[in-house]
Chains A and B, each alone.
Chain A
């Protein structure tokens, strides 16, 4: 069964360092997302991506964040200068068309900023 794959599963980084979280969405999907979940809190939307550009972003997704689809399979989230409050689970999701279809989530990357 097709699935969204994320790497690494756990990343520890020093405050101020750059991190890149990687995702391989389901192969025929066209819409890609990043969400995050701070420990004990709800899942929050960060950004959506379609047709090689950002289609929507939340207030959380400031200038320190960027996304890229460098090739036909990978989808990355970069945090330029990490802060302690960036520590969270980051989930990549994809769906195959716009509107009311379900999004499929990866298993997440646990980011710990120390």
Chain B
């Protein structure tokens, strides 16, 4: 069964304190991995798509990387406005398009 696990569940950082979030997956034949940001009471906002091991994508203070078993979302010198829940999702191998989401990492950046 395809599974997506994110860690840690919650992370509290000081402004400027860099860290990484983890998304590990057990899928038979990864076809891609998506990172989303979700603010409280809002819908997931697309951040990155990663297609193959070794691929990296960057956007402002965020960088996503992908290996054969996991993905990392690195946050460099975060600001309070980076506070949100970060979700990763993978498409099921048996399906064309449905996404399986992880539980998310709730990030809080204190000023």
Chain A residues within 8 Å of B, Cβ to Cβ: 4, 6, 31, 33, 35, 41-45, 48, 55-56, 58, 89, 91, 93, 95, 98-108, 110
Contacts and interface: CB of A to CB of B under 8 A. Distances in A.
Residue of B31, B42, B87, B91 most packed against chain A (CB within 10 A): B42
B98 A102 contact: no
Interface of B: 31-32, 34, 36, 41-46, 49, 51, 87, 89, 91, 95-104
- In order of increasing CB-CB distance, the 7 nearest A-B pairs are A105-B43, A100-B32, A43-B101, A45-B98, A105-B44, A102-B46, A108-B43
Residue of B31, B91, B101 most packed against chain A (CB within 10 A): B101
Residue of A6, A95, A98, A108 most packed against chain B (CB within 10 A): A108
Contacts of B36: 105
22 contacts: A4-B43, A35-B99, A42-B103, A43-B101, A48-B96, A48-B97, A55-B97, A56-B95, A56-B97, A58-B98, A91-B44, A93-B43, A99-B96, A99-B97, A102-B46, A103-B46, A104-B46, A105-B45, A106-B43, A107-B42, A108-B42, A110-B41
